[in-house]
Every structure is written in C-alpha cells, then in structure tokens.
C-alpha cells in the first residue's frame, strides 16, 4: 500500500470537487528556515517571560477539566476582550464581542451568516488576500473593487495608487449592491489607513450589506488615525474585526475577534461549530489580556523600525508607501520576483504580494531591519526601475 497519489486519483478528486473551487490555489505564505523572516507580519518579539509563566499556570489549572467541553459562550474571554476594546475610549460590552480561532474564522462566520450562494461580497483590491478566498469557500460571489490609480507603476511612493476615497468606494458599493463589504484599515498589503468618511459612505451606499472593517493592524496606526469602533453605535450592520496575532505577539495563540451590534453577534451563533474555542485557547488568551501593557510593549519599537524602513528605502531610491501597520510595501523594482529571490539568497525572506514592481516587508527587530536594509542596499542597479537610485554610486 502506498501513500503516494497518482494522476488518476488527482483527476478523480478534482471531478468530485466543487466546480467553483477547481483550479484554485490554496493560501500559503512560504515558511522557510532563514536567518531573517519578514514575510508574514508576525511580531518578531517573543512572548515576555512573566506572561509565559502565567500562561503555563493557567493551562495547568485548566488541564484537569479537559474532560469537559469548554465554555461555549467563552463568557470570561468576551468580557476581557470588551474591556480591552473599551480602553480606546469607545465603550464595548461583552454582548458586542465575538471571537474565533484567528480573525480568519471570525470572517468565515460572517460570510457563512451573511454571504452564501446567490450573494455577493465586495472588497477593494489590493487588500487582504484571504477575503476573496474565504468568500469563495462559502459559495459567495466576489467582486474586486478598485482603488485609485494603477498600482505597480513605481510612482513617487506617496501611496496615492492605493488610496480609497469615500466617493469612489460609495460609487462602487452602490453599483454592485453587495451583501458583504470588506474594508481594511490599515490595509494589507499597502499599510494605508482609511478615513471614517469612507466607512460611513460605504455603509450608506450599500443598505443591505454587512460592512466589515478589518482592523488587524490598528494598534500600529500613527497618532490620530481613527478606529471604526467609534461608528458602531446606531449602525447594526457595521462590524470591526481585530486579532491578537500582530501587536499582541500571539500569532500562535490563534485568537481573532470582532465588535458589532449584539443582534449581529447573536446571528453568528447559527453558523459556529459547537465549542469552537477550546479551553486552552480561552485560558491562554485571557492570560495574555491580563498583561495588556506588557504584551503591547513592543509596539512603539516596531513602529520605529517601520518608519526607519520607509525613510531608508526612500534614500536607496525605492518607493516605500507610508504605513500605519507593522509592515511596509515598497515599489520601484524592475522585477519583484527576481528581487524577492535575491533577498532570499541573502537570508532575508520578504513577501511577494503579486503587485508588479512591489514587495512587502515586515518591520521586525532593529537587527532584522538592518539586515534587510543592507540586503536591499547590496542589490545590483538593474533591480531598480531607476537604474541609478538616488544616493547610490
């Protein structure tokens, strides 16, 4: 007996597969063993030792009860998440909070409840690549909305090619009349944040849509960048999603969550799997939330490295997009795929997000940032759209 598949077996499975999934490629950022991994927007800093000790103690205390199902309503965790969100100055109650195994599961619940066959979801490309993928898994039709200008032109680095104005977003929302709309702020992969006027305009222009504002990187936003949490009151169709994977340095903990009207949260109970958040997941997330300030202690350092990357890449003749996230999208590359491979050969893994002439790099530790910048500085001139980058010999 062999575990190897055959062409005939593959063909059989493809015939059995849903037609709308045939030919698609599974999501997956490269997971490579390299000295400097800056491709998945993880927090490069380990969970602090005091928090690790509390996590271990919490899991040990809960382990004896693992013969019982977890709290299906994850009541205590919802309370902790509501308290954290309320620190922003906008009160959030536990009844407004929902959570899942990473924000992707939360997004899946939203599409299972409000999308589906015969329904449409709208997003504004380029944006988080999982939005259309999750949409497809639920049989929902996806519509690629457009941002301003043509991306990949190797422009001045202002981010104008990726801007989304209230007028443009509202016009497209009205045209397509979707059931779900995805907005990202800060946006992945561009790092650009949205004004609240965009959210308000889309919400008004798409009267039958659940409007989802994906704020996975909100903790890294520059001062003065508003959160859509402030718009929740009086808008039962508005949802704000968050994650503990980024600023909390908790990607392995797999905890994403959202805030919305209690009636919308209640609707998600119709589609979640029973006991979908395990007891260990709940207790380790609560242990982390008990040390919010410690867990977020690296945010300012990461923001400094992000801004350093923007400044230095500009000096090297590239076109970085000013960012409100923990990463930087940079253009001005003649062939992004070739540059990606050259950087990888130098031990630095960044992300090719599929935008011509652009790559994305995560802001890591100062040492990782230095290694990345040195690898970029060592690129031959023919990697640049401009043959002789400013400040280079």
Under 8 Å CB-to-CB from 303, ≥6 apart: which residues? 220, 222, 326, 363
- Any idea which fold 28-45+298-383 has? 3.90.1150
Q: pLDDT tens digits, residue range 257-277?
A: 999 999 999 999 999 999 999
Q: Which residues of the chain are in CATH 3.40.640.10 domains?
A: 49-291
b/e sequence 113-131, b meaning 16+ C-beta within 10 Å: bbbeeebbbbbbbbbbbbb
- Taking the C-alpha atoms of 7, 11, 13 and 19 in order, what is their torsion angle to the nearest 10 degrees? 150
b/e per residue, 288-325, with b = 16+ CB within 10 A?
bbebeeebeebbeebbebbbbbbebbbebbbbbbbbbb
DSSP symbol at 375: H
CATH architecture assigned to 49-291: 3-Layer(aba) Sandwich (3.40)
Using N-to-C axis directions, what is the helix angle for 336-345 and 366-377, rounded to 10°?
120
What pTM was estimated for this model as a whole?
Answer: 0.92
Q: What does the pLDDT profile of the chain (393 residues) look like in tens digits? A: 456 789 999 999 999 999 988 988 887 777 888 999 999 999 999 999 999 999 999 999 999 999 999 999 999 999 999 999 999 999 999 999 999 999 999 999 999 999 999 999 999 999 999 999 999 999 999 999 999 744 334 444 456 789 999 999 999 999 999 999 999 999 999 999 999 999 999 999 999 999 999 999 999 999 999 999 999 999 999 999 999 999 999 999 999 999 999 999 999 999 999 999 999 999 999 999 999 999 999 999 999 999 999 999 999 999 999 999 999 999 999 999 999 999 999 999 999 999 999 999 999 999 999 999 999 999 999 999 875 544 444
What is the tally of helices (H) and strands (E) in the chain?
13, 12
DSSP letter string over 241-267? Answer: EEESSSTTS-GGG--EEEEE-HHHHHH
Distance between CA atoms of residues 43 and 299, nearest Å: 9
Rounded distance, CA 333 to CA 385, Å?
5
Q: Where in the chain is the domain with CATH 3.90.1150.10?
A: 28-45+298-383
Strand-pair partners of 143: 122
Residues 129-175: tens digit of each pLDDT: 999 999 999 999 999 999 974 433 444 445 678 999 999 999 999 99
Identify the helix (H) or strand (E) that includes residue 99.
strand 97-100
State which H helix or E strand residue 94 sits in.
none
CB-count burial class (<10 Å; 0-12, 13-18, 19+) for 76: middle
What pLDDT digit, counting tens, does each position of 140-152 carry?
A: 999 999 997 443 3
- Answer for the pair 54, 262: CB distance below 8 angstroms, yes or no: no
């Amino acid at each position: 007996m062999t575990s190897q598949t055959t062409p005939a077996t593959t063909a059989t499975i493809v015939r059995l597969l849903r037609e709308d999934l045939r030919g698609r490629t599974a999501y997956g950022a490269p997971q490579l063993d390299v000295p400097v991994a800056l491709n998945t927007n993880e927090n490069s800093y380990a969970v602090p030792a005091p928090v690790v000790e509390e996590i271990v103690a919490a899991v040990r205390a809960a382990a004896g009860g693992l013969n019982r199902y977890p709290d299906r309503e994850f009541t205590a965790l919802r309370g902790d998440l509501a308290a954290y969100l309320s620190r922003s100055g906008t009160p959030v109650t536990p009844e407004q909070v929902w959570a899942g195994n990473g924000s992707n599961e939360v997004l899946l619940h939203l599409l299972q409840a409000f999308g589906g066959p015969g329904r449409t979801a709208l997003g504004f490309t380029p944006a988080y690549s999982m939005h259309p993928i999750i949409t497809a898994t639920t049989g929902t039709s996806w519509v690629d909305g457009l941002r301003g200008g043509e991306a990949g032109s190797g422009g001045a680095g202002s981010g104008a090619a990726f801007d989304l104005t209230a007028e443009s977003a509202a016009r497209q929302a009205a045209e397509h009349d979707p059931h779900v709309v995805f907005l990202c702020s800060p946006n992945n992969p561009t790092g650009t944040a949205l004004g609240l006027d965009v959210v308000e305009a889309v919400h008004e222009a798409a009267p039958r849509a659940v409007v989802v504002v994906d704020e996975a990187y909100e903790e890294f936003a520059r001062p003065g960048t508003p959160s859509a949490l402030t718009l929740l009151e009086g808008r039962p169709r508005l949802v704000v999603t968050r994650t503990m994977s980024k600023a909390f340095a908790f990607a392995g903990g797999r905890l994403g969550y959202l805030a919305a009207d209690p009636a919308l949260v209640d609707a998600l109970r119709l589609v979640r799997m029973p006991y979908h958040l395990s007891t260990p997941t709940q207790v380790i997330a609560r242990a982390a939330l008990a040390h919010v300030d410690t867990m977020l202690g690296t945010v300012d350092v990461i923001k400094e490295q992000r801004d350093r990357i923007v400044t230095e890449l500009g000096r090297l003749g590239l076109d970085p997009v000013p960012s409100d996230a923990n990463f930087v999208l940079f253009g001005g590359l003649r062939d992004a795929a070739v540059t990606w491979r050259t950087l990888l050969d130098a031990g630095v893994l960044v992300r090719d997000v599929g935008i011509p002439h652009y790559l994305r790099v995560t802001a890591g530790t100062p040492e990782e940032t230095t290694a990345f910048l040195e690898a970029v500085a060592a690129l031959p001139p023919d990697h640049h759209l401009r043959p002789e980058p400013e400040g280079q010999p």
